[in-house]
Structure 1
Amino acid sequence: MPDLPFALWIALAGVLGLLVGSFLNVVILRLPERMAADWRREAHDVLELEADTTPLPPGIVREPSHCPQCKHPLSASDNIPLFGWLLLRGRCRYCKAKISIQYPLVELLSGVLSAVIVWKFGPSWAALAGLALTWTLIALSGIDFRTQLLPDQLTFPLLWLGLLLALLPMFVTAPSAIIGAAIGYLSLWSVYWVFKLLTGKEGMGHGDFKLLAALGAWMGPVSLLPMILLSSLIGALLGGILIALRKHEREIPIPFGPFIAAAGWVWFVAGDGLLQGYMQLTGLR
């Protein structure tokens, strides 16, 4: 790595995070649409129906950014992360339609969390891996929040990357990563089936199992219980607030993936400190 001041590395990570955050918005919006289009075409093939001739939604990489309402291509200045939205005052330059606040929020979140990762790990390969984890968790959270989906296209690569990094090892050893992935999946899988047998309802999606398995591969089995407890606490608090404010109907399920992702990221960055603080608070050694 080039010999640069540490503060400059953090600043560069923040700028890179802003740029990547702009791309993550594209992934959050377009990946579910492409998945739905692929499912429709596969269903037509399986059912031996007439071929689906509906045009495919925009791709993630090739098609340029455009206004969701008027479809007008965006200029380079409109695409400046965070500042483009602020300069436009949250409205399309061409049709004046409102631009979702999701765009600057995702970019800002990506920038801040990327800077924190480099602050934590320094300019290292561990920081590069941490950035990949961070960006994937942001994309998964955004997609799950919007569509209640956690795509295999993101959870599986995250799982395999965690297992491969354990071969070095980078964060945990290979046995710890394998056990963490297995327990992470089976723990939520068991909760899912117990809840379904008792109530006849599905309490969570299968993507939640895969996401926790991926985080288990990155951080090992010791991290799983704190992550589950922390994600449950965050989910209960935010869910209660949304219901109290009547911005979310009780019958509509609240996606659990963003809470798992948030808890996983917090433990990835501050797990050791949190564990030590808990042991000191309880008098454990």
Structure 2
Amino acid sequence: MAFLDAHPGLGFPAVAGLGLLVGSFLNVVILRLPRRLEWEWKRDAREILEEPDLYDPPPPGIVVEGSHCPHCKRNLSWYENIPLVSWVIQGGKCRGCKAPISVQYPLVELLTALLFVACVWRFGFGWKGFGAMLLTGFLISLSGIDFRTRLLPDQLTLPLLWLGLVASVENLYIGQKAALLGAMAGYVSLWSVYWVFKQLTGKEGMGHGDFKLLAALGAWCGLAGVLPTILISSLVGALVGSIWLAAKGRDKATPIPFGPYLAIAGWISFMWGNDLVGWYMRIAGLA
């Protein structure tokens, strides 16, 4: 770590390469985890209802099974799995069936690489930088899954919450008290909005995964980071959501995933929360 801190010209490219590799794995998580969960839910439901077993082979696992073309199901060679490079060389198409490969793959890989570099630029190449990259990977996965399926799985939100609390034991970013209060405030704040909205309208305005995601972000950012996260996510969500609805010709009743906006706002608060609060207090004449 000290060597990389002393030679950032080597460290930053190495982290960018790591980000491309991790981004490739995050694509697998985004695409396969919801399918695995749905398969498990159906299996468990049949068992609880005592229904007869059906022939329902499980979808590909996240780690063991190799990558394959989603169209022709052909297993991909190692040189077809090089992050970002393979997609560009192949022109965004499968070498076998020539079917288009989703642009999600290179975008997630490139985004992960860029954000990983931002993490070590902000926190260095030690444990703080590693923790920031870990948080970033979780947020990218959760955003991709929520965007595609409107799900924020407990399998990701709860480990992220506990990792934030564990990091606070060593006072890596914030202390234990701030992390615990942040997690509590994050959960209760959105749960309260959900409960009031449901009482007034009889409808559910958001999913329970949103509460857990904000609780996890509170564990990483602390109590002081919860309010900026809510404000930034609401602003970004309203702006981007309105543009998306207008572009798609949808009405305002169309459900929009809130997780990606929470993730964006939480990442910004985690990286530069103190600077943003200080800037706001100076603008408001409070400092």
Cα 1:77–1:248 change in 2 (3 A) is farther
Give the alignment partner of residue 253 of structure 1, picking from 252, 255, 266.
255
Given candidates 3, 10, 24, the residue that maps to 1:22 is 24
C-alpha distance in 1 between matches for 2:177 and 2:143: 28
**Equivalent in the alignment of 1:76:** 78
Q: Is the 8 A contact 1:18 1:82 kept in 2?
A: yes
Q: Which amino acid aligns with 1:44?
A: R
Q: Is the 8 A contact 1:243 1:249 kept in 2?
A: yes
Q: What is the number of residues matched between the two proteins?
A: 285
1:78 Cα offset (Å): 1.3
Give the secondary-structure state (helix, strand or coil) at the position aligned to 2:160: helix
Measured in 2, the distance between the counterparts of 1:24 and 1:89 equals 21
The amino acid that maps onto 1:23 is F
Q: Secondary structure at the match of 1:178?
A: helix
- Rounded Cα–Cα distance in structure 2 between residues aligned with 1:105 and 1:249: 28
Letter in 1 for 2:205: G
On the 8 A contact 1:232/1:259 being kept in 2, the answer is yes
- Give the structure 2 partner of residue 143 of structure 1: 145
State the distance in 2 between where 1:176 and 1:184 align: 12
State the partner residue of 2:110. Answer: 108
Q: Equivalent residue for 1:3? A: 3
Pair 1:247–1:80, CA change in 2 (3 A): farther
Correspondence 1:179-190 to 2 at 5 A: 179-190=181-192
Query: Which whole-Å CA distance do the structure 2 matches of 1:35 and 1:249 have between them?
Result: 30
User: Structure 2 CA distance, aligned partners of 1:179 and 1:9?
Assistant: 35
Of residues 165, 178, 181, the one that matches 2:180 is 178
Which one-letter code corresponds to 1:10 in the other structure? Answer: F
Identity fraction in percent: 56
Match of 1:66 among 65, 68, 76: 68
Give deviations 1:118-146, integer Å, cap 9, x for gaps.
00011110111111000000000000000
Q: Which residue is 1:131 aligned to?
A: 133
Structure 1 residues 94-105: aligned runs within 5 Å? 94-105=96-107
- Deviation sequence 1:41-80 (CA, Å, 0-9, x none): 0000000000132010000000000001110011112111
Cα–Cα, structure 1 residues 81 and 251, in superposed 2: closer, same or farther, change >3 Å?
A: same
Q: In the alignment, which residue of structure 1 is the partner of 2:236? A: 234
CA separation of 1:249/1:58 partners in 2, compared to 1, >3 Å: closer, same or farther? farther
Distance 1:164 1:182 in 2: 15
- Whether the aligned pair in 2 keeps the contact of 1:167 and 1:174 (CA below 8 Å) is yes
- Partners of 1:108 and 1:218 in 2: CA distance: 24
Listed one character per residue, the Cα deviations across residues 99-129 of structure 1 (whole Å, up to 9, x for unaligned) are 1111011001100000000000111101111
Equivalent position SS for 2:76: coil
* Corresponding residue of 1:49: 51
Q: Deviations over 1:226-270 (max 9, x none)?
A: 100000001001111012212545433110000000000011111
Instruction: Give the TM-score taking structure 1 as reference length.
Output: 0.98
CA contact (8 A) 1:27 1:60 kept: yes
Which residue in the other structure is 1:206 paired with? 208
Q: 1-side partners of 2:250 and 2:130: how far apart?
A: 37
TM-score (norm 2): 0.97
Gaps of 5+ in 1: none
Within 1, Cα distance between the matches of 2:164 and 2:27? 24
Cα separation, 1, equivalents of 2:266 and 2:103: 25
Alignment partner of 1:267 is 2:251: no
Inter-partner Cα distance in structure 2 for 1:164 and 1:52:
42
Q: Secondary structure of 1:92's partner?
A: coil
Question: Within 1, Cα distance between the matches of 2:207 and 2:247?
Answer: 25
Q: Extract unaligned runs of 5+ from structure 2.
A: none
- State the SS of the aligned residue for 1:217: helix
Give the letter for the 2:230 counterpart. Answer: I
RMSD: 1.1
